[in-house]
Amino acid sequence: MAEWTRENIAENTVSRRIMFILLVASVVFAALFFRLAWIQLINGETYRTLAEQSRYVPRPVAPRRGGIYDAQGQPLAISVTTASFFATPREVVDSGQAKEIADQVAAALELDSETLLERITDTKRGFVYIKRQVPDGPAAAVKSLGLKGIHWEEESERVYPKGTLLANSLGFVGLDNTGLGGLESSFNSLLAGQTVAVLAEQDKNGQRSAGVAQRTTTAPVDGVDLILTIDEVIQYICERELGKVTELYSPEKAGILIMEPQTGRVLGMAEYPTFDPNNFGQYDEQNRRNFLISDVYEPGSTFKTVVMAGALEEGVTSLNQEYGCDGPVRFPGGMMVRCWRAVPHGRQTFMEGIQNSCNPVFIAVGQEMGKELFYKYLHGFGFGQKTGIDLAGEADGLVLPQNKCQDLDLATMSIGQTTAVTPIQLLTAFGAICNGGRLMKPQVIKEIWDAQGNLLETVEPEMTRQVISQTTSDLVLRALETVVSQGIGKTAFVEGYRVGGKTGTAQKVVPGVGYSEQEFVASFMGVAPVNDPQIVCLIVVDYPKGDTHGGSAICGPVFQAVAKDVMSYLEIPAQVAPALVKATSLEEVTLLDYVGLTTAAANSQAAAQGIEITLVGDGEEIYAQLPLAGDQMLRGGTVVLHTRLPKVPAAPQIAVPELTGKTAAEVAKIAAAYDLHFDLAGQGVVMYQQPSPGSMADAGSRVFVGLEKPLEAGVLEDLAGP
């Protein structure tokens, strides 16, 4: 056996080390091979998915939003495709022409060049919007420049072709294609369709890269189209007349509602104030409210139609039954409710009480009904609950619980106070009264179509319940016709047609104080024709300014103008029997301008035209008229003229003192130093005053002062009237 030398031992050691290294390497490479095989063959699809997810980010792209059209198919809200421009800052900087690019884009899109330059060169961001939803002209200008780093994508923009028309009911859409009010909100899920998800490439920092989306992961579904029951022409008529009355009286708000009583379909819904949904951000939230369904108010005498219907249905009274109006109606505790007229009406039938809108008559009828029957019809006609109209934001209204209703409450409810309603509730109930007692669910949607033009649904009229009989409905319509032909609603007379209606003038409630003596809600509720009701209409004018606040003077002429044009548009035949028409012919005349004339000259001019006039005020000079000069009217029609009071020396102005927190005794001491009349209500310390402290008032005028607690007894001033 050979002797091991040191050299041999060294070689053998090296060989073993090499073998060990090779073995370890083989094991490592085998492990890597098996790991690679595991990744590629076994979990390859999983890792490919993860890699793709890290490279691409899903980005939602909205489909075409469905349109909203009127009953005749005229577009009210549509979506158009527009270009939205964005930049990739790294590309802009690498071009070496960042300043030139910013200048050109800013000029085309009307942006500030320096601000834009700062944004599109911020390389910390992979993507930055320049401007979204750019009109065609400027968009084409930017596209034609072919600037490096400037890109665009197609987006949907909501457009309202008619501007402010029906705006409060339509609502509006934000930049994210979400409905934010009205029908746009109520039907947002249907109008918006199903959003498309696309995968857009992003860089290592998670910033979106420019370029075309790589893949669509879901199929787009465009939104549906809504066909409304509202007619564009009828809506225009309503808004035209609403504009006239708001210009004349400068109210806080005003509205007109028109409905088909047989179906509950809303034909027109005009409101003031309003807004342009194309530029909704420029308006206050108050302008965007649909107060006709969301705000409550005490309706006053228009509510007497409900009392009338229930009492006649139950047989507790008849149109010929006699009642007295001899002064305030007294209640236990010393409280009294007065009629709206200073001189009592005296003895009168129920029919005459309806024509006169006499409060004591309706208080007596309410007492004859009793709480149980009264609440039967209060709930039967739908007060205190939503009507179910297909619009967002509807209010329930406010009804005093029956177990808390006292005799005084029943009296005030009988004349339209205490119960707070929404305009849509009141007109829906009135529609039932005029429709043989059938309460219909109000609706603004007639049909729903898909994007391919297929009819998906026709919204059929829906009856909620039968409230009164056809016989009672006919009796009420007969009475309402006499209100217009013989009673206080003559200003609503429409020549050639049989129309009926009820006026209303309700005192506004001052929170924590009671009923205001200065603020009123004027209204008129009408039906035409009464022998075959085709339309019911409610006009509401909240806090009109000027020398009159009555529903007859303010809202009657509005109904006359609206009903006349709407019935003409709907081709409802005129009823020209001599017994139904006051005029000797159906000839139309153009109203002259009465403003500035004396009452004598106005009478002479009206007689020459064959026009009747109703004077409002005690002055000798005309300062306003409704309908306006230039409007068309049949001979024999009525125009309302407002008189300017005789000129007298201006009363000195006095600053109203601060009374809040003072006792009645302290107010009395302060009053001695002022030439003002202070009317105190309640007891305790002053919580409210009107006019407000510091405002200027004429010497001798009244200041209403509300104290902390109501009086135990006194007179409930009911200034509301026809």
Please give the DSSP secondary-structure letter assigned to residue 601.
H
CB 636 within 8 A of CB 584: yes
Which position has the token pair 């902390």? 708
Give the whole-angstrom CA distance, residue 150 versus residue 173: 27
**Residue 164 dihedral angles phi and psi, to the nearest 5°:** -80, -10
DSSP assignment of 289-301 equals --HHHH--B--GG
User: Dihedral, CA atoms, 711, 715, 720, 722, nearest 10 degrees?
Assistant: 160
**3-state secondary structure labels for all residues of 375-433:** HHHHHHCCCCCCCCCCCCCCCCCECCCHHHCCHHHHHHHHCCCCCEECHHHHHHHHHHH
Of the candidates 667, 495, 699, the one whose C-alpha atom is nearest the C-alpha of residue 589 is 495
Which position has the token pair 């050691």? 13
Please identify which of the residues 156, 301, 523, 552 carries the catalytic annotation. 301
Q: Reply yes or no on whether 95 is catalytic.
A: no
The neighbour count for residue 714, using CB atoms within 10 Å, is: 13
Query: Which long-range contacts link 101-106 to residues 24+ away (Cβ below 8 Å)?
Result: 101/147, 101/148, 101/149, 101/150, 104/145, 104/147, 105/130, 105/142, 105/145, 105/147, 105/150
Positive or negative, the Cα torsion across 483, 485, 490, 491? positive
Of the candidates 446, 138, 395, the one whose C-alpha atom is nearest the C-alpha of residue 289 is 395
State how far the alpha carbon of 695 is from the alpha carbons of 137, 555, 670, in Å.
Answer: 52, 30, 16
Give the whole-angstrom CA distance, residue 539 versus residue 558: 8
Positive or negative, the Cα torsion across 255, 256, 262, 263? negative
Give the whole-angstrom CA distance, residue 410 versus residue 362: 10
Of the candidates 415, 468, 420, the one whose C-alpha atom is nearest the C-alpha of residue 309 is 468
Q: What angle do CA 341, 346, 350 make, to 5 degrees?
A: 95
CB 356 within 8 A of CB 348: yes
Catalytic positions, written as ranges: 301
